Each structure stands twice: as C-alpha cells, then as structure tokens.
Amino acid sequence: MSSDPARPPESLSDEDLVRRYCEGIDPEGALLSLCERYRTMTYAFFRRRIGVAEIAAEENQELYLAVVEHLKDFRGEASFRTWLFQIAHHRLAHLRRRWGVHVDERAEEVPDELWERLEAPAASNPEHEANRRQIARALRRCIAALPEIERAVIYGQYYGSITLKLLSRELRLANKSGARAVLIAAQRKLRRCLEQAGLNAATVGESLGSTS
C-alpha cells in the first residue's frame, strides 16, 4: 500500500519515501528528503576516511547521483540506510584501488628513506635497536590511522618514490599546494601520534619535517 500522498515527505519513513519515489508519487520531493536526511552523515563518512574536504564533497555528490541511478532497483532486502552506506563503501573501495592504499598492505615495512628522515640510532647498540623496533611499531600504527588520502601520499612519497606533482595529479588535488599540503598535514599527525606513543617527538618531528 502506498503512503498517504498528503503527508509531507519529511514526516515519512525511509521505506515510504522509497515507495513514493518508485511509484511516482512526488518522486522529486521523496528523493530530496532522502538526500537531506543522510547527506551530512555520508559526507562525514567520506571526510573521516579521505581526509580532504573537497574530495569528500565530490564523492558525496557522486554517491547521490548513484542513488538516483539505482534507487528504482532497491528491493528493500536491507534498510535504505544500509543500502546507501553499501554504495558509499563501494565508492571508497574504488578510491582505494585507484590510490593503491590498504591499511595492512605494508604492515611489516618501514622504508629506508623514512628511516633516514627519522635519523634512527645505530643498530649496533642493543638499546638503540630496541628503540628502533619501538618506533617501527608505533609508526605503522600511526600511518594506519591516517585518513585514506594522507596515507596514499605517505605511501606514494616514501614507499613509491612518487613525486608530489604526480601525486597531486593522480589524487586529483586541485588546490595550489596539492599533495605537499596533504603531506605536511600527515606529517603533523604522525608527530602527534608518535609523541602520544612516548617517543622523542622533537627528534622524530624534525626528521619528518622536510619534504621532497
């Protein structure tokens, strides 16, 4: 049974709004209500994981274009919210594939260049070697905690030796500073994270401070 067409869209459940859209009962109003109901939430989802407001906004817009394209295929096997976030996760997975970023992809590695920037102590001293291992564990955790795009820039710069100019183009960073601004933001977060782990933040921060 279709919902009462006299009721305002904002007072209806997700299911009723989807039904209105599919049955052609004020489809524009139903779609607008669904988008208004969730757009802030889905933007926050992308913003937390991507780390750059412009790209998060772009992905959020693309998400709702996908909703427009596929909403008539919605079968109600899950809630609309679950279905919506499945699409959002799919878009995020697509970005990860394009950027080559996975949290555990390089969990056991710390690049030589990054070690040089950290000015790690000589390995001949057992105490220094233990400290190096402590830094490595903390650094892996800190990198994994970065937003997707910041992790992509860190991986591209330190693991892939990709120039910041190329990273800016590949990641579609249109702002003037491009990947350099993202790298600086990531370095700042790594400093704080390592400091919270009880490491020598002054030495680590100074080492992380320069960019190529």
Q: Which tens digits make up the pLDDT trace of 46-102?
A: 988 887 788 889 899 999 999 999 998 888 788 999 999 999 988 888 877 777 655
Nearest alpha carbon to residue 60 among 84, 33, 78: 84
Mean pLDDT of the residues in the chain: 76
Q: d(Cα 55, Cα 151) in Å, to the nearest integer?
A: 15
Task: Give per-residue pLDDT as tens, 86-144.
Answer: 999 888 888 777 776 554 445 455 666 655 554 444 444 455 555 667 777 788 888 88
Q: What token pair was written down for 58?
A: 């772009």
Question: Where do the structural domains in the chain lie, given as residue ranges?
Answer: 10-99, 112-208
Over range 162-185, report the average pLDDT: 84
10-99 and 112-208, same CATH topology: no
Among 79-83, 175-179, 183-187, 207-211, top mean pLDDT goes to 79-83
What pLDDT is recorded for position 169?
84
Top CATH class of 112-208 equals mainly alpha
Query: Which sign, positive or negative, has the C-alpha torsion 99, 100, 105, 106?
Result: negative
CATH of region 10-99: 1.10.1740.10
Burial of 93 (0-12, 13-18, 19+ CB in 10 A): exposed
DSSP character for 3?
P
* H or E stretch covering 45: helix 27-50
Q: Which of 25-29, 48-52, 148-152, 198-202 has the lowest mean pLDDT?
A: 198-202
Cβ proximity of 141 and 193 under 8 Å: yes
